[in-house]
Amino acid sequence: MLFNSYIFIFLFFPLCLAGFYLLESRGKAQAAKIWITGFSLWFYGYFNLYYLSIMVVSILINFLIFRLLLREKEKGSRKNPGSTMADGRKGKKMPQKLLLAAGICANLGLLFYFKYYDFFVENINALFGTDFLLKNILLPLGISFFTFQQIGFLVDACRGEAQGCSFVEYALFVSFFPQLIAGPIVNYAEMMPQFRAIGHRAFSWEKFTKGLYLFTLGMAKKVLIADTFGLAVDYGYGNIAALNGTDAVLVMVFYTLQLYFDFSGYCDMARGLGWMLGIEIPVNFNSPYKASNIIDFWKRWHITLNRFLMRYVYIPLGGNRRGEKRMLANLMLVFLISGLWHGAGWNFVIWGTLHGVLYVCTRCWQLHGGGTERGHLPASEENAAGFGRLCQSLRRAAGVFCTFLFVNVAWVFFRAADFGEAAELFGQMKNGGFALPSAGIYDGFNLDEFWYVMKVLHLTSLPHSDMLLCAAFLIFALAAVFLHKNAGEMAERFLPKAQNMVTTAVLFLWCVLSLSGVSTFLYFNF
């Protein structure tokens, strides 16, 4: 089931919301948790009942391992009074380590089978000339997200940071539908206390209206902006040989914008749904294309994945505690894992490698006095107030431009089916010749509602009028990305005034009327 679908907007969520608050208002906390868990399972099972069976089995196995971990920790505490549940590292016993290893292997084994088995076999066949059969396994939606989430939960339990929960609470933690399919990746500390507070809190109209506004903004980003750019991107990647140089550059930039508005739009919708249910879901995007370097970018893009990899991969490997060379190697490994996590293909490995190399180089540059994230200038320039501020602003603008350019290039490998397709697109940029964009690139932007306005204003008689909407969309998207507050910032400041509510209603209606051309979210593929 999609957030941007009629069944979700007019049936699923109203029923979920009404039943949840009815049960909670009567103090039936356990029933309210079961209700929303049941709806979460319905939400996931709507895509494919086979997917649901996989997730349910995964929940059962992980909860069993979690309970066994808690039992072993309790045994350790009784035998060693100095060891407490709150101090997970002190007096850690071998059974706990074995249970944790078994849990991690079970989760990674499930992920490997469904996501990487065919990729592994293809490379074995290519390397050794074998002919092992591919299984063509259907990838369950969201498996990368709920697998990492459960691994984090088990590690936190072993550390003593996840100290207990009921099966219903655990099932809700894994299956909570707003962030189930495409994140954010949440942890015990930020979600479990909120689930336990269900039935013991006051309803907030302010939070509810802000949630509705944020959901609407997220839907607009997806339906009105991302999907429109997606028409040109799909045409471009489907007809690379026919593109001229201008087309190829635009396809690259359009995908960069499509991916951001699509994925951040999903996360905004998820946070908005959470707010309407009284649940705070962590921020996953913070204006990433405003980043002045690649380190800053990864503090703003897919924040919860970066947090997971740092906490559960980078730090356990030693982090920065074992010298600079080891730190840089650990960072590179994190980006390789990030690339593979996104997809089973060498193009994703290349994408991760590109980001990892630039990240490591930037970190070295910062460590050895090449600059700081703020880009401080020498004292003499800082004292020359106006000139110093101007130089600093120009330096930051150059950093933002270069970072955005790099991210654009790297996204080509992310979007392309393989390395050959990426190379072909870059080849068209170089050799395709620069001319006016092709009709296939700009036709998708000529939406009926905008084209009618252009006719009323007699703009259709202007030269190249069929390209005006494409240019307008691009300018608007770039301005929103670089100059405007992001959706989360706008929602935080939202007040339920009449004007704001009318604006929200009009935008919501526009999105609903545009659902006939609905598409799935891009990160459902990962």
> Which residues are known to be catalytic?
342
Token readout for 221 is: 């980003």
258 Cβ contact list (under 8 Å, min separation 6): 226, 229, 230, 233, 522
DSSP code at position 85 = T
Closest Cα partner for 469 from 444, 487, 432, 491? 444
CA-CA distance, 409 to 455, in Å (whole number)?
A: 37
CA atoms within 13 A on the CB side of 390: 4
Q: How many Cβ atoms from other residues are within 10 Å of residue 239's Cβ?
A: 14
- Positive or negative, the Cα torsion across 301, 304, 306, 307? positive
Q: How far apart are the first and last CA of the chain?
A: 17
Q: Are 423 and 412 in contact (CB under 8 A)?
A: no
Q: Please choose, from the candidates 52, 34, 53, the residue with its C-alpha nearest in 3D space to the C-alpha of residue 43.
A: 52
| Nearby residues of 12 by Cβ (< 8 Å), 6 or more positions away | 1, 39, 42, 43
Contact 396, 292 (CB under 8 A): yes
- Going 372 to 375 to 381 to 384, the CA torsion angle's sign is negative
d(CA 22, CA 17): 8
Closest Cα to residue 110, out of 156, 154, 151, 67?
151
Indicate the helix (H) or strand (E) that contains 66.
helix 49-79
Provide the 8-state DSSP code for 5. S
Largest CA distance in the chain: 86
Which one-letter DSSP state was computed for residue 275? Answer: H
* CA 430/CA 293 separation, integer angstroms: 26
| Orientation of helix 419-431 relative to helix 385-415, angle to 10° | 120
CA dist 255 → 184, 258, 259 (Å): 21, 5, 6
Give backbone dihedrals phi and psi of 201, rounded to 5 degrees, phi first.
-145, 160
